[in-house]
Structure 1
């Protein structure tokens, strides 16, 4: 469901801040029937070169019914009084590349400590995955753009997520493999 939209992607640029405390990615789209934006920006603010503070992103102005992050889902509802069942349509979330364009802020340490451990882990994982993808884009995809376009990339670059999968599979030193 993302592919038809991504066919309108004309360019991706990235620029590091002069102090090396972050960078900005700019995705430029041709005019299209999916969104009114022609440019989507994602900015990574770092405390220093290693600690991510927050991520700011453009809001996407989707045209009516064209948001790939949402889908219509049929739900059955039962009336408690009459027992009658009816089917209703509700909007639900759907996996999409375009969820990448959401702003994320790490709360202050006090707020983070007050959050349930599960919520802390979820936020940290979301931030790490987002930052890993952005790093792959600025450090691998953009510099090798011509090679990607021509289809002559090395196996190393053939799947930008491949090193993420390897990290997940190899980070549990001493854990039993199921």
Structure 2
């Protein structure tokens, strides 16, 4: 299984928005997300991924087929660290190592400090991220709980440092799982 990150070009913005609809649909189980009268979820942050240099959008592919996406951004308020803003693997690709491998690729291609937050109601994501972070982080991993009114939702924020790693044996982007 070959997992890769592929930069989303502006011409494929509508494909990314389609995937974001599936992501928000999944999130509607744990957050109060309402459909618009047009039967879609609202995502207000898409355009900046195509206009701001400190934001990156990637498709996750498996053997050349679309499997999800990752949205990352530079946290200028947080000493230049990178942040996983949104991360999604389609249901048909879950529990096969796709999320783990694509996250590893995401982190190791941009060594330095990373942050991400996980909603307290999303225990599966928390377990995934703790597991992935334990394999790529060097040094201390800081976990900080945030709750309203200091945060929009109750969540745990992870902060950790990553160093670049050579590709795994067996070919770049191939999962050992």
TM-score by length of 1: 0.30
Select the structure of larger CA radius of gyration.
Answer: 1
TM-score by length of 2: 0.30
